[in-house]
Amino acid sequence: PGFKSRVPISFHFNDYSCEELTQIGQLMLHGKSMKLAEGVDAALQRAIQVSTGCCLEADMENCVSSRDNGNGRSVRNIIEGSYRFLASRALRDAEKVGRIQELKEDAAKNLKLAKNKDSGKVKSVNYYIKQKLFTPPCEIAKNKDVCDHLRQVEAIDINSVLEENIFLNLHQLCVPLEGQVTKVALSDIRRKVRAIPLLTNEERAKVVSARDCEQGLSILEQGVARVKPGSKMLDEPLDLPMDQAPCSVREVFAELDKLVGLTKVKRVMKELYALVRFSQLREDLYLGSIAEQSFHMKFVGNPGTGKTVVARLVGEMLLEMGAVKSKESPHVSRRCLDPEKVDPEAPLPKLNFHEGSRSDLVGEHVGDTALKTIRTVKEALGGVLFIDEAYSIVQAGGKDSFGMEAVDTLIKEMEDKRKYVVVILAGYEDEMEDFIDSNPGFKSRVPNTFYFADYSCSELSTIGSLLYSKKGIELTQDGKEAMSSVVKITTGCCEDADSPDCVSRKDNGNGRSVRNIVEGSFRFLAARSLNDPDPEVQKELKSLQVAGEDYQNSWNTWYESECNSARNRVGMQRSRCRREFTKEKFYEMNSKKHLEWVGEPCTLGKYRCEILSIIKASDIEQVLQEQVYHNLHNLCSPTEGHPAKASLSDLRWQVRVIPTMEPEDVKKLKDITKCTEGVDLLKKYIAKLPQKESDPSLQEPVVVNLEEAPCGVKEVFGELQELIGLGGVKRTMLELYSLVQYSKIRENLLMKSVSETSFHMKFVGNPGTGKTVVARLVGELLLEMRAVEVRGKEHESLRCQPDGKKKEGTINFQEVSRADLVAEYQGQTAPKVIGAVENALGGVLFIDEAYSIVKAGGNDNFGIEAVDTLIKAMEDKRKEVVVILAGYEEEMNVFFESNPGFKSRVPITFHFDDYTCSDLMHIAKLKLGKADINLPTSPTGADDYERIIKFASGCCDKEEDCRISRENGNGRTVRNVVEATTRLMSTRILQEPVQPTAKELLANKEKWVIEYTTLKQQDLVVTANELAEGTLGRTCAKDGMVAMLTEAIAAGELRSFLGKDEPPGKQLFQIASKVRSAESDLGQLSDQTEVVQVCKRELKALSDAAQVQVAKLCGAGTVEGSLRSYASKLDPTKVLERSMATALATSAGSIESLISLLTSFEDVQLDSQLAAPFCTGCSTTCEEAMADLHKGHVMMSLGSLLTWTG
């Protein structure tokens, strides 16, 4: 309140009217020696009205206030935007550009004459103009037409700005999102464009009556922007003469043109170039610069669409053109260097490209944020500050004061330093729109938007072909066809991104996904090539390997000689040696002192290098097979606590694109009721897998020759092979080894390396399936294969000494969890994540239960920040660390879906299947053997022990019989069973009434050794009882859950169980499953297991109570039942009395709970005594009663009850 009395004067700044803003625009033009062509005032006012939402002077009293109504900066952006289109148009007129050049030369001569006339000190140009010693060319009447070419804004220039804004605002509004019909309603389109009043009455009526999104959009585009419906102005390439551009700029554009697609991006880049070049032409004629505008940009698009690459190029182009001032004065280009003028010892100039993120801007403590943001901008001066996923600066929820402070500071720095830095904000389109809208200051300070469209399928296939070509890999014709098919299925791309049939996804057209396909195919290419069974191929491979080693040794000799000589002669550093004395230069110079052959090895025609350079269709298809296998894995198995209910619609969504099938197979797919049959059919068509429930191509072991492998590699593989099961893991590791070896042969022969793939991995599976053990071995193996670099150190084996003797080394294995990555306070999370990654460099960062980084619910801002930081670090440090994300399959899939960045950065998935019963029995025998314990000698002893393990773990041997549980196939469960058996055997022995004396033990040592190391049948019975008691005892006790359910059913209070964490149906299903499992798995042992018999009795009591309630609700025999009674008592007028509605509503909860229980009993397939009373009569009766209610047109909600009736 102290302010009120101390601040007595207030100034209220009203929004400008449209007319005032138009005048402001004209003044801006005049200040730059620009003008509007005749009759263009109306076009400018229209553009301002649409862009700012301003009101006409006549309507100011009724004007709706908005924070950016009448915004002067928005007018500036329109004016500066028109310069881009004017510049592009002007530079295409070669005749006038030529005359401008002539005028420039004449002006230079005239200025020189003026300086000669004035013998005094050299003055500024303005001095000579004022003294009338020099007349600028554009003040001479005969030059008017040429000069107007540089200073007159036409209607087309203003309208192009408006068209661009409309395009960016309405882009993809009518394109459906994944799983939805359309992205927005037509009402959203109407709200999206502010100035609907600008439409004619006829156009307005058409928009209101439009039923189709595309139709409404077309009317808006035509009416608001006055463009042709479906205009593709931004999709058309811009052809500009580049002969006058500096060499370095031409190189930048040549590099840009090599990029696939990106038509809109390339067009806007050329428009920016045209603007700067146009401004230089104006300066040549003394009209003044117009290139002092803001060049900050917004890049919108999905991941992998080229944003980072283009950001570097656009920054470099602006620097080379002088639009952004460099740190060096004058600017030193890194392109078009003259070898004669370059100091060989000086570091090559490079673009100051600074990638920033939330962690670089947001501080840990109050007051730190502004300083960090200012420092980050300062570090990028003279270059580009690129902030990917910029919306993450401010965390969701609107309460991130640190993030908002960073944004406010960044906006001010962007304005103050606009001549010295280009800030590029990048991210997904929708999130970026919300982010920009959240602070009106962004709209006016970020005038340039680059839209990065998803690549089409053909463009992605071209990218794949280019990636192969860069590595010197040739695609067969079948390989090209396979690439097209695999790209379409894997990325979900469209051939026409603007087609209404194209479903929008955040990873459509993802270039990184194509990179993963290519790099994945190298794995299969390497395994196929190096392990080809053909003796002739093996002979050729051996000759290539020997030749490569010879060449490598020759180069090493030459390199050491030349480098040492240069170090002694001029003090050359080792880093400079590596750049100067390359293998390419070695072969080019071909010093016969060290090498007798001429040229590069594979150019001599002496070796069959092509066997290392041909990708076949099978190599690419196996990448898809692997992905489809993981997507469909266990889809048809029941989930924990539920029966198998995966529908065919689930199968269709699991794999994105179902190719055209034969008509009979389409019909078959629709009619299939068995889930596994649907999966097999999909596998056959999508991944060309055999129509079998197992996939031999992915399960058969790879045969790899390890005889010549380094000692350390052999040791790790030896330990890996000793692990039980894990066939898929072992196969993939052998493939990775083949890839590294294959790449080494290629490198020695001066062929391109193919082992630069990311080795980050996803481990999915239940606990106790070996994930942590394998993670350590995987890390060791990659280190032994030199696929992971150790910064600042030469490679050193952890397993073997140089002479081949074994040693014990320790891998840098960092195991972390959410607590190690997510901080308690603002600004501390990113440093924790970066620190965890730094600590794991040269080794493995293992994150078990990785999905816990982000808490369920989507409002965990700290967790989301940790994920964003981790993804960036994984990409930046991909050569120095292996990040392994592990956890349950379902949660890991959801976790990866939550951030599309994971999919492309984690290309390798290891699925840790549950151990089979035979695997677990094998593990149990090994553990018993280590403890010197033998199985019972009785005929059924070994089988009974396996039964106990099956009951305890829920394991299975046939996939179709498996029920997914997080305890299935758990190695830890086996350890617990073995320990329990050993403990109970020890107890039995010590409780024997007669114990042998020491003398008796020595006299009959062999007998007592057998006695004390051999289990007896009674030990198994006691073990089975203890395990069953631990599993079912509390549940089936007198006050256990079954008894409580029975009591609730009998009292009609079953609905009291609703709202608990687990519904009673799921709990009952689990209990009944365990009872059934005990009977089937334990066999005869269950008859001696008391708790199993108790559970059966309790479940029978529950079923009896439920049957009584069913009879009350649904009727039995001649008894009508309350549901039928409700239906029959409905008023003929179909008006439901309040009392009847209340009674129905009260019953709904109990009915829903009862149906849940009935379903559980039916699904668990209990024996006839338990199942028959429910599902033979009750189901039909209930359906009839509820159908009567439904036919009675009861217009009220009965929750799941009426939903269930259909």
The tokens for 928 are 């018993």
Q: Cβ of 718: how many Cβ atoms within 10 Å?
A: 11
Q: Locate tokens 């151990």: which residue? A: 915
- Judge if pTM exceeds 0.75: no
On average, the pLDDT of the chain sits at 75
Give the span between the Cα atoms of 949 and 1019, in whole angstroms: 14
858 phi-psi bin (left φ>0, alpha ψ -120 to 50, beta other):
left
| pLDDT band at residue 1146 using 50, 70 and 90 as cut-offs | low
Residue 379 pLDDT exceeds 70:
yes
Please list, in sequence order, all residues whose beta carbon lies within 8 angstroms of the beta carbon of residue 934, skipping any fewer than 6 positions away: 928, 1010, 1013, 1014, 1015
Would you place residue 839 in the very low, low, confident or very high pLDDT band (cuts 50, 70, 90)?
very high
If you average pLDDT over residues 1072-1093, what whole number do you get?
Answer: 73
**Tens digit of pLDDT for each residue in 155-200?**
888 888 877 776 655 555 555 444 344 444 444 444 444 444 455 6
**Residue 32 in contact with residue 288, Cβ under 8 Å?**
yes
Q: Which residues, including other chains, have CB under 8 Å from residue 131's CB and lie 6 or more apart?
A: 118
pLDDT computed for residue 39 by the predictor: 87
Longest dimension (CA), the chain: 132
pLDDT for residue 238? 79
Residue 653 pLDDT greater than 60, yes or no: no
Q: What is the mean pLDDT of residues 1108-1123?
A: 64
Supply the pLDDT for residue 641: 41
**Helix then strand then coil, % of the chain, to nearest 5:** 60, 5, 35
Residue 1057: predicted pLDDT: 54
Query: Above 50 in pLDDT, residue 298?
Result: yes
> In Å, how far are 1025, 1031, 1037, 1073 from 1095, measured between CA atoms?
13, 11, 8, 11
Measured between alpha carbons, how far is residue 966 from residues 888, 973, 1097 in Å? Answer: 8, 11, 28
Three-class SS of residue 727? helix
Query: What does the radius of gyration of the chain's CA atoms come to, in whole angstroms?
Result: 38
- Higher-pLDDT residue of 794, 458: 458
Q: Quick one: three-class SS letters along 886-941?
A: EECHHHHHHHHHHCCHHHHHCCEEEEECCCCHHHHHHHHHHHHHHCCCECCCCCCH
Query: How sure is the predictor about 857, in pLDDT bands with cuts at 50, 70 and 90?
Result: low
Least confident of 411-415, 562-566, 1106-1110: 1106-1110
Question: Sign of the CA dihedral 426, 432, 433, 438?
Answer: negative
**Residue 454 exposed, middle or buried by CB count within 10 Å (0-12, 13-18, 19+):** buried
Q: Note the pLDDT of residue 36.
A: 92
Alpha-helical regions (H) of 826-900: 829-839, 861-876, 889-898
Backbone angles phi, psi at 417, to 5 degrees: -110, 25
pLDDT tens sequence across 259-297: 888 888 888 888 888 888 888 888 888 888 887 677 888
Task: Using the structure block, give the residue that is written with the tokens 């596994």.
Answer: 676
Choice between 441 and 1135, residue whose per-residue pLDDT is larger? 441
Indicate the pLDDT class of residue 1186, thresholds 50, 70 and 90: very low
Peptide bond before residue 330 is cis, with ω within 30 degrees of 0: yes
Instruction: Give tens-digit pLDDT for 90-125.
Output: 888 888 888 988 998 898 888 888 888 776 666 788
Most confident of 745-749, 1052-1056, 1135-1139: 745-749
Greatest mean pLDDT among 861-875, 899-913, 1168-1182 lies in: 861-875
Is pLDDT at 859 greater than 80 in this prediction? no
Range picked from 365-374, 744-753, 1184-1193 for highest mean pLDDT: 365-374
Q: In this predicted model, what pLDDT tens digit does every residue of 1011-1066 receive, in sequence order?
A: 888 999 888 888 888 888 887 888 888 888 788 878 877 776 665 554 444 555 55
Sign of the CA dihedral 135, 138, 141, 142? positive
Phi, psi of 912 (to 5 degrees): -90, 95
* pLDDT tens-digit series, residues 958-972: 655 565 555 555 778
What would the mean pLDDT of 203-225 be, rounded to a whole number?
58
Residue entry with tokens 């972390």: 816
* Selection from 616, 595, 599 nearest residue 551 by Cα: 595
Distance in angstroms (rounded) separating the CA atoms of residues 165 and 171: 10
Contacts of 205 (CB under 8 A, 6+ apart): none
pLDDT at 146 over 60: yes
| 35: β partners | 152
Predicted pLDDT at 1064: 54
Task: Tell me which of 634-643, 700-709, 783-792, 807-816 is least confident.
Answer: 634-643
Higher pLDDT, residue 484 or 1131: 484
Q: What does the pLDDT look like over 29-70, one tens digit per residue?
A: 998 889 999 888 988 988 888 777 788 888 777 776 665 555
The residues near 319 (Cβ < 8 Å, ≥ 6 apart) are 326, 331, 351, 382, 383
- Per-residue pLDDT, 382: 86
Q: Between the ranges 541-555, 690-704, 869-883, where is the mean pLDDT highest?
A: 869-883
Return the number of other C-beta atoms located less than 10 Å from residue 947's C-beta: 22
Residue 552 pLDDT > 90, yes or no?
Answer: no
Q: How many helices (H) and strands (E) in the chain?
A: 53, 14
Query: Picking from 527-536, 909-918, 1048-1057, which range would have the lowest pLDDT averaged per residue?
Result: 1048-1057
Query: Quick one: pLDDT at residue 220?
Result: 60
Distances (CA, A) of 1121 to 1050, 1110, 1124: 16, 9, 6
Contact 322, 275 (CB under 8 A): no
The tokens of 722 are what?
């000793």
